[in-house]
Structure 1
């Protein structure tokens, strides 16, 4: 019996509809199960397949709530049938159908992962109804528990990665206000390879980095954490500019192994007393400068990304004059590569600047949060790149102590 799906006639539309797959090669037994299902009064859709191979194809193509499984099929038998079904349908309820002479088959099947078992010839409609409803409920509960556990493990791993990618700034005498945000590209996703950091050096200057390792997932995140820690250690050790980027590239080359990962980053040194910011762009885009008269993209010389052509060492510096009051925003391309409300047009830097111009004046943290919210709303979930934002705000320049 491998015909089309059948359904209980006259089932009320407000009843739950159980999608049932019966794997049974005996037409008589299949017909008996179908008749019993009608007698239960439950709403159901029944599909019958006679072999494990046919059942696998059905499960791959359609969603099923419960599987009724005969233990004697042409292509598999016994507990191997239960193990196979649980292997390719781990979150679907399985009820095993056993014969009168199979005393231990049912309990063995439950030990192998089945939710319950029924003995052919001893099944009545009430028993079938209770068994079906309980098996589906138990399967759904197990699925929800597994999903919750997976979410918790993912959250814990994200927290560990976040501690490496988003450290606490090291600020001693600086009056600069630091705002940082990091979001993974997709819901429930692991953090990727974007990283940022801010430290105040012994020279009294504020040093910042925002970077992006190519790719996504734990490998990119691990390399991002490594580069972020290396940057902090090297900056506190007195390395700057070309020398700093050269050492970061050497570390990247050693840590990436056989994977052809590369990284882009922006290095920034903020000197409040001199009212300047020194930039080194390694394959990364320019930051945004906010002043009382508006926000625009800084013009700066570009250098090569780390790990693309090792040994080239082309990272020119750019010194940018700063207003007495303002902010610099460094970010990864997750902020601009989303769509601009349409499927064809990306937001880009121009769209980002236009959006910033429309946002109400707000506290720096609230402003960054609103900016991210608006870019996500325009994108409508169509693009999923990681996003890191670092904003540095300052007021009137204090005298250096």
Structure 2
């Protein structure tokens, strides 16, 4: 049965408390280790388990800095004990306890992943003290290095995904100002399946897309990149409206394989000469129209998301009259589905519009940054959806 002992009294307060798990089925050897730990003058919490099964339960309920491991347990022995314990606690220091006759066991244990080894019967308090402190320090250093490497890899992967999900707008003569923002749903997370793009076509119209692939992680991101690249290629090839959405849906179905992924999409074609925009919504919510007076949600017709019912092809167009100066904002639901400051209610469009209309908007980039900061502060990390925002400004910036 697992037992826990705490020893911190009478030792300098600046000495760390080492949480130690001893896995030893021999009661006499376990008592010897306990007495040696007292003599080391370490501050420690000692938990003792007599089998690997007990140790597994102990590790599931408490954090451990160091494991003292006997190589001969009722349910595992030898280097298998080391590899099993390392798998159970990959970031915890492991010190193996070997017998006097096991000359090769210590080196083999270290090759299997242990930080160090001690020979029973030859361990003194000072040696145990140094070994525990060094093994824990080395384990922490290895963990920090691994986390730093993981962070670098995430940053590199995000950079590659950004190039696919967030391309540079392809503009020639357009006077429209394009502002974009993209944030993953969780800190240090990979970008998800949200995507956006802006292209000026040979027809003189400014074409924009914002989309959101269901789910999170690399599969959603890969499909988002695929749809974004396909959209740009199809627009430049002259495809428009319902035909364009149909082709994107065919590609989605082919690329998602057996995964039940779908995508919501907003397509927008902005005609600056006619002061109008044509909008198609495939399962996506309405964009926002900013005038010199205020920002409102555009009233628009809806169609089904891509991949929900392939071949349905019912995506009605909505014509939006535009003011001489203003802005259109297309976004994914990460902007509105966060909490509104309490633990229950969502922000929603009802909470978003007052924030927009009370946030200075002369500078589109500063306006988006301020808006995102406010929504994230209200959410306080409780909702973790990705966020993509695309804002198109034309004429004079609204006051």
TM-score, normalised to structure 2, is 0.97
Q: Tell me whether 1:265 sits opposite 2:265 in the alignment.
A: yes
Q: Kindly report structure 1 stretches of 4+ aligned residues shifted beyond 6 Å.
A: none
SS at match of 1:5: strand
Sort the Cα spacing of 1:186 and 1:2 in 2 relative to 1 into closer, same or farther, 3 A.
closer
Q: Tell me whether 1:155 sits opposite 2:155 in the alignment.
A: yes
Give the corresponding residue for 1:336: 336
1:266-297 residue CA offsets vs partner (Å, 9 max, x unmatched): 10011111111110111111100111111111
Higher mean alpha-carbon deviation, 31-40 vs 353-362, is at: 353-362
Sort the Cα spacing of 1:63 and 1:282 in 2 relative to 1 into closer, same or farther, 3 A.
same
* Preserved contact between residue 213 and residue 224 of structure 1 (Cα < 8 Å): yes
Q: C-alpha distance in 2, partners of 1:79/1:4?
A: 26
Q: Which runs of 5+ in 1 are unaligned?
A: none
Shift of 1:13: 3.6
Give the corresponding residue for 2:285: 285
SS at match of 1:162: helix
Q: C-alpha distance in 2, partners of 1:2/1:27?
A: 12
Shift of 1:246: 1.0
Shift of 1:332: 0.2
1:195-251 residue CA offsets vs partner (Å, 9 max, x unmatched): 100000011110000011111111111111111111101100011111111111111
SS at match of 1:198: strand
Matches within 5 A, 1:84-123: 84-123=84-123
Shift of 1:11: 3.3
Q: C-alpha distance in 2, partners of 1:3/1:271?
A: 75
Q: Which runs of 5+ in 2 are unaligned?
A: none
Q: C-alpha distance in 1, partners of 2:207/2:9?
A: 72
* Preserved contact between residue 335 and residue 375 of structure 1 (Cα < 8 Å): yes
Matches within 5 A, 1:311-390: 311-390=311-390
Q: Tell me whether 1:307 sits opposite 2:307 in the alignment.
A: yes
Q: C-alpha distance in 2, partners of 1:8/1:365?
A: 55
Sort the Cα spacing of 1:377 and 1:27 in 2 relative to 1 into closer, same or farther, 3 A.
same
1:63-117 residue CA offsets vs partner (Å, 9 max, x unmatched): 0000001111111111111111111111100001111121111111111110001
Q: C-alpha distance in 1, partners of 2:197/2:5?
A: 59
Q: C-alpha distance in 1, partners of 2:222/2:29?
A: 56
Sort the Cα spacing of 1:149 and 1:267 in 2 relative to 1 into closer, same or farther, 3 A.
same
SS at match of 1:384: coil
Give the corresponding residue for 2:134: 134
Give the corresponding residue for 2:74: 74
Q: C-alpha distance in 1, partners of 2:370/2:395?
A: 22
* Preserved contact between residue 277 and residue 321 of structure 1 (Cα < 8 Å): yes
Give the corresponding residue for 1:255: 255
1:336-391 residue CA offsets vs partner (Å, 9 max, x unmatched): 00000011110000100011122123411111111111100000000000100000
Q: Tell me whether 1:51 sits opposite 2:51 in the alignment.
A: yes
Give the corresponding residue for 2:203: 203
Give the corresponding residue for 1:237: 237
* Preserved contact between residue 184 and residue 192 of structure 2 (Cα < 8 Å): yes
Aligned length: 397
Q: C-alpha distance in 1, partners of 2:289/2:152?
A: 39
Q: C-alpha distance in 2, partners of 1:264/1:2?
A: 53
Shift of 1:2: 3.9
SS at match of 1:314: coil
Give the corresponding residue for 1:10: 10
Shift of 1:3: 2.9
Shift of 1:9: 3.4
Q: C-alpha distance in 1, partners of 2:363/2:198?
A: 20
SS at match of 1:30: helix
